[in-house]
Structure 1
Amino acid sequence: MKTLLPLLCILCASAVNPAFGGEALAPAGVLAHMHRVADWQLDNMPPTADKYTGDPASMPRIAKAHPTRLDWTFAAYYAGHLALAGLSPRSADYLDTFAKLGREENWRLPFRGTRYHADDHAIGQCYLEYALRAHDSAAVGPTQEFFDFLLANPPKNPDALAHDISTKSRQFLEKWSWCDALFMAPPSLARLYEYTGDIRYLDYMNDRWWHTTAYLYDKDEHLYYRDSRYFEKREANGQKVFWGRGNGWVLGGLARILQSMPAAYPDRPRYEQLFRDMCGRFLALQGADGLWRASLLDPASYPAPETSSTGFAAYAFAWGVNAGLLDRAAYWPATLKAWRGLLSHVTPEGKVGSCQPIGADPRKITEDDTDVYGPGAFLLAGAEIYKALLLEQNPHGILSVQNPTGIHRRWSTVEVSAARLRELTGTDNPADILVFDALTPLLRDTQTWQTDAGPALLFQATIPPNDTRRFILVRKPAGFQGPQPVPLAHARFAPDRHDDYIWENDRVAHRVYGPALVKKEGTDTNGIDVFVKSTPALVMDDFYKRGDYHRDHGKGYDPYAVGQSRGLGAPAFRAAGAGAPWHSPGNYATHRPIADGPIRATFELTYPPVTIPAAGAATITFTETRRFTLDAGSHFTRLDSTIAVTPVGASFEIAPALARNDWPGRKKHAPKPALADTPDTAAQPAASDENWLADWQPNKGENDATGLAVWFPADTAMKPVEGHWLLPAIPVPADAGTATWSATWYIGATWSKSWHPTLESWRQTVTDFIKTTETPLRLGTEK
């Protein structure tokens, strides 16, 4: 377990200025200030030129300064807004506010005549951060398309010409030629790497970063010129011109790219050293009141405090302390001093004043000046300070999570045993644990999970190929209220639809049929149905309420016909011996809910006994209990089947089945309890290997297709039978002492209109899933 800062240090800092009330030293006090600032800003967003409908000649000056609500000024605010959403008990409201903006704007990046303009890239980092949190892939597409163009068409102008902002050719826009750009574009590229695992985005960012740094960074002062126009300019006191907010942008950009960059990335040490050097210079330049000025080296000429540069500096300091990159004894008091200074410029309503208006160099400031990036920096700083205080006051430890494969693992479920929880935090109760990213202030959604060895904690992590990410597990303080979990997995008994049992996550949905449906329409099968989705939102309850779910109304639909078939992955049984027919039970008989999200949905169904003929006049009776488990972020449901057999020790075979698209039995409801063992070698699945198969089945009249997959971790090969493929058949030998048997397999589904446009992409996902399941994440403990 770890404790961070002695409380005495904080108490001494708080005594310096009465404006820094004692409540601000508690996480709840910091959060209250953040709520106040965010709520005021959301109620007082500046008008934008693209929404102005009046006479252009009369357009307000502030609207002219903000072309669109997607521009860089708003992006800086929403970076802080999303940091707050990762901590606040009102997280759902804050996430919904941002999602509404993104959907109304179709998740686009602004465009001002060239794709290279870094300011237009800034909102992308917010889209990607939201997508990683909410599992919303729709938020990624336009940003990824934008940067794919840049990768395919890199700037070709010579650096000296392209970086010179004083030229009238505007070629400088093709490079990051002003220091603010290092907050705008690089974090978006780093977040895109984190989302995709594609190192090309990080390499492009890395190349451009160091070109800009070689041009604008002053190695003696450890500060950046705003752009080339300031190389020869001097302040009134003869010092070089280094703009406070401009260098604040760089510090914020450094922190945000280091959050996503792998620990083993070759140039990471250079970024860390640059970060330390700049923070060291900022520390020496901090004012006695805790704030920085618009001019870093000539504060006497610009004596008014400036809150946007202070917000970014406080954010960088707090982040560096939390990340272990800055010496806590030196930087934590300075962080609190800056926070104290910031609070003295926040009105009771929540307006952050003394924020320099849009510009490129030091300017005069009034207490009334504000803009959206100022509150954004305040919220970023507050989130890191909140995290630091929570860690300081509660036992915690670090869990490392390693991805030992070359496959990007987005939204992988991490399961932490009670014993490891006790080692890290002193408690083995998962409900008493919070999980922070080590390098961000995001509190991860968690779930308590019951294993055979006792309770465990679930959370999800995105781990790039061959990377290790660290998470801080913290014992939850009494009365703690954290962010609301994003519901991404759900399962329930559905008496409102003839006793169906339904389950879904952010990628796919399924159902199986219950006893009432036999009476309603005669359908009596253990077949598994498939619903396809184009939204991460949970839709099945709404589908059932509306009733019309066999057509797509914008979120997905049920294109799959089960009929007499086993559908997707339901098992079939037969007595041992070639040529025997394959039998299955009908609709399930009883159900037992186990877990209902937000990360994992699990339930068990027991099927009615099935008696089938065996050798001679003998019979075998099977009674199956099957557990279904679906995790958020996955296309695959795990099926754990336990089969009670009489007579005890009877020899039989079990195999999961996948119904072929062309089998007439899928269009009939009358039960067909047995499938003939009559191979049709002409019919083959779209893709298969020894123990898995994937199929790509067109959906009638909708110009789309459903991707399906079954994986049975066993050694025997797939075989076709009547209307189905069985994969594979596992012979269970006679054993006089065994009355129950168990088997595990996986089923998966996707949709061509959402997650996988082609069979090839679906096949890759299937094989990646098999490899990552066979090579689990590796957990470690750091003292």
Structure 2
Amino acid sequence: MRFSLVLGVLIGLSGKAISQNATLNVTNPGNRPLIQSVVEIPWATVTKAYPAIDTAQLQVVLAGKEVPYQLEHRGTKAIQNLLVQLSASPKQTIQLTLRRGKPAPIAAKTYCRYVPERYDDFAWENDKVAFRIYGAALNGRSDNAYGSDIWAKRTDALILNKWYKGDDYHKDHGEGLDYYHVGLTLGAGDIGVFLNDSIQFIHNYRSWEVLDNGPLRSTFRVKFDPYTFKGITVNETRTVSLDAGSQLSKVLVAIIHTAAQALPMVVGITLRPEESPLLLAEKEGILGYWEPKHGDDGTIGVGCLFTTSPVTMMRNYQHGLTKLSVKSGNTITYYTGGAWDKAGQITSSDAWFAYLRQYADQLKHKPVVRIN
């Protein structure tokens, strides 16, 4: 009798211990390695595998060691995804353990913010690169700019607040600088309307909202004032995400317009007067540019990837352009970003175009998550 009681207690304790853990298998289906990539695991999958989960007491473990993670909300109260930064060889399956325990603190690797002290800039960065777009306060000024700006970084530290506070970021003090020129162009991968064989700029954003802010992914949304081009009124809402370790941001552009049919648009990269390598890979959906060297400042590569291909590309209007079209109420998704040779990781046009091709391949072969 006593033995049966003790056995029952042990079985109950064992069951409780088991309920404190769950395992997920993550497979890299591609032929290229994942190197410290942010993997998105739907929260519904997590809770199905681990019904007893306590988000205040959650550790994610790989081979006995904790790995960094983020609970992504996408601007909602409910958790949408578990984000985990992982490496995996081609075709490799790795096993993650979810267990109860206080998670170790991790340093943020992404960040975004509204910058009211600099004419309504909105800026974002990760451990590789930094970007900004321009707000409505800049409209009408002589130094106005329309497109996306890229900052040249050679530190994995987050520098936006430091650089803006110092207000001397056009000089390199050892961490990088902002020397990329945007002006009244699309800059480093912005989007515009394309009517009557010309680029129509939607100007600068009006309002902003931060949806998530690190440590592994930062996401924000900006809205633009409606603009009327050739009798067609266009409303744009843009959502931008940047992952730790990535040279590229993900951009979702929602368009509402009054055109009777699909609205022609273009995503573009500003070209400099000097000859420099330009990649127009229409079948692969890859637009890449390796800028001419900018004196002692070095060289920046800029690129865009498109989730649907083939696409039509061209070199015109001092831009490398990808032509798209969107029906009112629909969304365009693309990736855009860049790399600086003085960061020491991507130092040539060949290396930059190879990075873009690798990234495009990984988008087609996203990690597969299964409950073990």
Q: TM-score, normalised by structure 1?
A: 0.43
Counterpart for residue 468 of structure 1: 93
Instruction: From the superposition, tell whether residues 775 and 431 of structure 1 become closer, same or farther in structure 2 (CA, over 3 Å).
Output: farther
Q: Give 2:69's match in structure 1, choosing from 435, 441, 445.
A: 445
Q: Does 1:587 align with 2:179?
A: no
Distance in 2 between residues matched to 1:432 and 1:656, nearest whole Å = 44
Q: Give 2:188's match in structure 1, choosing from 553, 563, 568.
A: 568
Instruction: From the superposition, tell whether residues 522 and 756 of structure 1 become closer, same or farther in structure 2 (CA, over 3 Å).
Output: closer
Distance in 2 between residues matched to 1:646 and 1:427, nearest whole Å = 49
Instruction: From the superposition, tell whether residues 687 and 444 of structure 1 become closer, same or farther in structure 2 (CA, over 3 Å).
Output: same
Q: Does 1:718 align with 2:313?
A: yes
Equivalent pair of 2:37/2:245 in contact (CA under 8 Å)? yes
Q: CA deviation at 1:522?
A: 4.4
Distance in 2 between residues matched to 1:447 and 1:418, nearest whole Å = 9
Counterpart for residue 264 of structure 2: 653
**1:752 partner letter:** D
**1:688 partner letter:** L
**Alignment partner of 2:225: what SS?**
coil
The structure whose residues are more often strand, as a share, is: 2
Q: Give 2:300's match in structure 1, choosing from 706, 723, 726.
A: 706
**Alignment partner of 1:474: what SS?**
strand
Distance in 2 between residues matched to 1:486 and 1:571, nearest whole Å = 33
Counterpart for residue 348 of structure 2: 758
Q: Deviations over 1:31-87 (max 9, x none)?
A: xxxxxxxxxxxxxxxxxxxxxxxxxxxxxxxxxxxxxxxxxxxxxxxxxxxxxxxxx
Distance in 2 between residues matched to 1:630 and 1:698, nearest whole Å = 26
Instruction: From the superposition, tell whether residues 457 and 7 of structure 1 become closer, same or farther in structure 2 (CA, over 3 Å).
Output: farther
Q: CA deviation at 1:769?
A: 0.1
The structure whose residues are more often helix, as a share, is: 1
Distance in 2 between residues matched to 1:707 and 1:430, nearest whole Å = 40
Equivalent pair of 2:145/2:185 in contact (CA under 8 Å)? no
Distance in 2 between residues matched to 1:433 and 1:600, nearest whole Å = 18
Distance in 2 between residues matched to 1:427 and 1:605, nearest whole Å = 37
Query: How many residues end up aligned between the 2 structures?
Result: 358
Q: Deviations over 1:683-718 (max 9, x none)?
A: 774323112121111342215110111112332221
Equivalent pair of 2:252/2:331 in contact (CA under 8 Å)? yes
Q: CA deviation at 1:422?
A: 1.8
Q: Give 1:637's match in structure 2, choosing from 224, 244, 249.
A: 249
**What are the within-5 Å matches in structure 2 for residues 271-350 of structure 1?**
none
Q: CA deviation at 1:566?
A: 0.8
Counterpart for residue 512 of structure 1: 133
**2:40 partner letter:** E
Counterpart for residue 3 of structure 2: none
**2:70 partner letter:** T
**Alignment partner of 1:642: what SS?**
strand
**Alignment partner of 1:698: what SS?**
coil
Q: CA deviation at 1:432?
A: 5.1
Q: Deviations over 1:355-392 (max 9, x none)?
A: xxxxxxxxxxxxxxxxxxxxxxxxxxxxxxxxxxxx95
Equivalent pair of 1:694/1:710 in contact (CA under 8 Å)? yes
**1:621 partner letter:** T
Equivalent pair of 1:431/1:448 in contact (CA under 8 Å)? no
**2:235 partner letter:** T
Q: Deviations over 1:538-585 (max 9, x none)?
A: 01111111111112111111120001111011112134xxx5322011
Equivalent pair of 2:19/2:52 in contact (CA under 8 Å)? no
Q: Does 1:607 align with 2:232?
A: no
Instruction: From the superposition, tell whether residues 545 and 393 of structure 1 become closer, same or farther in structure 2 (CA, over 3 Å).
Output: farther
Structure number with higher relative contact order (C-alpha < 8 Å, ≥ 6 residues apart): 2
Distance in 2 between residues matched to 1:561 and 1:703, nearest whole Å = 13
Q: Which runs of 5+ in 1 are unaligned?
A: 1-5, 10-390, 614-618, 664-682, 733-737
Distance in 2 between residues matched to 1:604 and 1:473, nearest whole Å = 31
Equivalent pair of 2:111/2:213 in contact (CA under 8 Å)? yes
**Alignment partner of 1:768: what SS?**
helix
**What are the within-5 Å matches in structure 2 for residues 85-164 of structure 1?**
none
Equivalent pair of 1:573/1:584 in contact (CA under 8 Å)? yes
**1:725 partner letter:** G
Q: Give 2:105's match in structure 1, choosing from 461, 476, 484.
A: 484
Instruction: From the superposition, tell whether residues 770 and 694 of structure 1 become closer, same or farther in structure 2 (CA, over 3 Å).
Output: same
Equivalent pair of 1:401/1:780 in contact (CA under 8 Å)? yes
Q: Deviations over 1:695-745 (max 9, x none)?
A: 111342215110111112332221122111111x1234xxxxx64221011
Q: CA deviation at 1:524?
A: 4.5
Instruction: From the superposition, tell whether residues 497 and 702 of structure 1 become closer, same or farther in structure 2 (CA, over 3 Å).
Output: same
Distance in 1 between residues matched to 2:295 and 2:328, nearest whole Å = 48
Q: Give 2:234's match in structure 1, choosing from 602, 613, 622.
A: 622
Distance in 1 between residues matched to 2:67 and 2:315, nearest whole Å = 48
Counterpart for residue 288 of structure 2: 694
Distance in 1 between residues matched to 2:315 and 2:339, nearest whole Å = 23
Q: CA deviation at 1:428?
A: 6.4
Instruction: From the superposition, tell whether residues 628 and 429 of structure 1 become closer, same or farther in structure 2 (CA, over 3 Å).
Output: farther
Equivalent pair of 2:277/2:349 in contact (CA under 8 Å)? no
Equivalent pair of 1:430/1:455 in contact (CA under 8 Å)? no
**What are the within-5 Å matches in structure 2 for residues 157-176 of structure 1?**
none
Distance in 2 between residues matched to 1:731 and 1:632, nearest whole Å = 30
**Alignment partner of 2:66: what SS?**
coil
Q: CA deviation at 1:500?
A: 0.5
Q: TM-score, normalised by structure 2?
A: 0.88
Distance in 2 between residues matched to 1:456 and 1:430, nearest whole Å = 12
Distance in 1 between residues matched to 2:221 and 2:137, nearest whole Å = 18
Distance in 2 between residues matched to 1:459 and 1:657, nearest whole Å = 31
